[in-house]
């Protein structure tokens, strides 16, 4: 009778241990997922606040002199970076006054992967938004 019981007991033990491993894995995955979600939400909130600060500064641009505006926007570069956006201010000749030129990462693998991604999804090119300061020039001419 003992020989007949051993083969039936072994699958139960294996399944119980597999169930325990599956339960621990599920709990770990849920915990890590929640922690990652919390970190992602915090990052998005910081980026949204940074974008709101930039928009506030740009809304007040008409009240500032050119030098003050450049100083205010240059100081922003040391704050929380914008996500999905980059801010660049150029003069009439096209010289960069505020912002950074896109620099290569220094890694051939990363550059190759970036190039591959741009060929695979060509819609992700940089689309500049420009504006003129004619209103400022008219107001100062009065």
What would the pLDDT profile of 54-77 be if each residue is shown by its tens digit?
Answer: 888 888 877 888 788 888 888 877
Q: Is residue 133, in this structure, part of any structural domain at all? A: no
- 84 CB contacts (<8 Å, ≥6 apart)? 47
pTM of the predicted model as reported, rounded to 2 decimal places: 0.55
- With CA atoms as reference, report the closest residue to 96 among 65, 124, 128, 122: 128
Q: Of 24-28, 79-83, 124-128, 136-140, which has the strongest mean pLDDT? A: 24-28
Containing domain of residue 50, as a range?
Answer: 2-101
Q: Is residue 74, in this structure, part of any structural domain at all? A: yes
How much is the mean pLDDT over the chain? Answer: 78
Q: Is residue 18, in this structure, part of any structural domain at all? A: yes
Instruction: Give residue 103's pLDDT.
Output: 62
Q: Is residue 22, in this structure, part of any structural domain at all? A: yes
Query: Could you count the other beta carbons within 10 Å of the beta carbon of residue 82?
Result: 16
Q: Is residue 116, in this structure, part of any structural domain at all? A: no
Q: Is residue 51, in this structure, part of any structural domain at all? A: yes
Q: Is residue 141, in this structure, part of any structural domain at all? A: no
pLDDT at 108 > cutoff 80: yes
Phi-psi category of residue 84: left, alpha or beta, with phi > 0 → left and psi -120 to 50 → alpha: left
Mean per-residue pLDDT, 9-16: 87
- With CA atoms as reference, report the closest residue to 89 among 138, 129, 127: 129
- 99 CB contacts (<8 Å, ≥6 apart)? 77, 86, 87, 88, 89
Q: Is residue 112, in this structure, part of any structural domain at all? A: no
pLDDT tier at 102 (50, 70, 90 boundaries)? Answer: low
d(C-alpha 17, C-alpha 126), whole Å: 53
pLDDT at 36 > cutoff 90: yes
When divided into structural domains, the chain yields a total of 1
């Amino acid at each position: 009778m003992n020989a007949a019981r051993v083969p039936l007991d072994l699958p139960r033990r294996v399944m119980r241990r597999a169930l325990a491993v599956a339960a621990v894995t599920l709990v770990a995955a849920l915990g890590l997922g929640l922690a990652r979600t919390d970190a992602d939400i915090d990052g998005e909130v910081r980026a949204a606040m940074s974008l709101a600060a930039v928009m506030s500064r740009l809304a007040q641009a008409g009240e500032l002199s050119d030098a003050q505006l450049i100083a205010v926007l240059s100081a922003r570069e040391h704050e929380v970076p914008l996500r999905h956006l980059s801010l660049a201010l150029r003069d009439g000749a096209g010289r960069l006054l505020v912002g950074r030129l896109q620099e290569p990462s220094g890694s051939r693998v990363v550059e190759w992967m970036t190039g591959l991604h741009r060929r695979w999804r060509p819609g992700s090119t940089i689309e500049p938004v420009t504006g003129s300061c004619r209103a400022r020039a008219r107001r100062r001419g009065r």
